[in-house]
A and B are shown apart, each in its own frame.
Chain A
């Protein structure tokens, strides 16, 4: 979608054009759904969350100034809603202490795995991270955002984002090394 066309679609949807809004949903659904899915790991929960985000967007369309602002807004709302949901869910289920990376089971001996299984393992390891750190990793590797962009979305200082990411990567690297040997680490 070109810049001018995107602005036109945004303006039309702000005026209540359902077709224009549908176009916006279609364009951004992959990003919103993936962020939610990679964060919570459950497709139905991710779909519900993405629906909520688009519903909130529909109500706040007048506040969106540009297509770039729209992307930023969607990322930010999805990130914060996902983190809120994770916290609520933990509170509701009374899970007690959060699951740590050490609690995730791992194979006793290094063994070669196909690519799909490796990706699944990586996702599971990221799932075990605390909510904010998990979202930082997802934003960094799904959306390929720079640290300052992540800091803006997460409303965190850039140094905190940097240390969060470094710590998470160090833990992931250590875990993967233990699982698969030095090949992937």
Chain B
């Protein structure tokens, strides 16, 4: 063994920590073992999240996540708009169909009323009038 080895060994002899070190370690562990209340836990969690958010990598991750969120929201909004237009068109078609059906029903009702009064229905009356015109 050379003199430098001896010097290094004597320089790096083990050193004892302060006498109450073990007690302090245990009290520190006991303090963290005691569960905090939900408010305290929430506050500490938020604080730790905030601290984490300060790290550069997490900032990038947050920015990427935010960009993804905005893209998804835009796509969803466009889909919603398209559905809204389709719904309007379908509504207009239904209204038109109802109007046509209502007209038809009116015609049918009028014919029934004429039959009840002993008159020929509108269509028969029109046919007979056309025949009379031919003659």
Tell me the A residues contacting B by CB distance below 8 Å: 18, 21-22, 25-26, 29-31, 33-34, 37-38, 46-47, 50-51, 54-55, 58, 115, 118-120, 122-123, 126, 137-138, 140-142, 144, 169, 172-173, 176, 183-185
A185 pairs with B12, CB closer than 8 A: no
A138 pairs with B25, CB closer than 8 A: no
B17 pairs with A115, CB closer than 8 A: no
A50 pairs with B4, CB closer than 8 A: no
CB neighbours (8 Å) of A185 from chain B are: 3-4
Tell me the B residues contacting A by CB distance below 8 Å: 3-5, 7-18, 21-26, 28-30, 32
CB neighbours (8 Å) of B4 from chain A are: 169, 172-173, 176, 184-185
CB neighbours (8 Å) of B32 from chain A are: 55
Interface of A is mostly: helix
A138 pairs with B14, CB closer than 8 A: no
Q: A29-B16, A33-B15, A33-B16 are in contact. Are A119 and B22 (CB under 8 A)?
A: no
Please report the C-alpha to C-alpha distance between residue A29 and residue B15 in the assembled complex, in whole angstroms.
9
Please report the C-alpha to C-alpha distance between residue A160 and residue B101 in the assembled complex, in whole angstroms.
92
A30 pairs with B16, CB closer than 8 A: yes
A118 pairs with B7, CB closer than 8 A: yes
B26 pairs with A22, CB closer than 8 A: yes
Q: A169-B4, A172-B4 are in contact. Are A30 and B17 (CB under 8 A)?
A: yes
Q: A22-B26, A29-B21 are in contact. Are A184 and B7 (CB under 8 A)?
A: yes
Q: List 13 A-B contacts (CB under 8 A).
A: A30-B14, A31-B14, A33-B17, A33-B21, A47-B17, A51-B24, A55-B29, A58-B29, A119-B10, A126-B8, A137-B8, A172-B4, A183-B3
B22 pairs with A26, CB closer than 8 A: yes
CB neighbours (8 Å) of B15 from chain A are: 30, 33-34, 37-38
Chain A residue at minimal CB-CB distance from B32: A55
Please report the C-alpha to C-alpha distance between residue A47 and residue B32 in the assembled complex, in whole angstroms.
18
CB neighbours (8 Å) of A55 from chain B are: 25, 28-29, 32
Cross-chain contact of B14 among A21, A34, A123, A173 (Cβ < 8 A): A34
- Most chain A Cβ neighbours within 10 Å, of B10, B23, B25, B26: B25
Please report the C-alpha to C-alpha distance between residue A138 and residue B14 in the assembled complex, in whole angstroms.
10
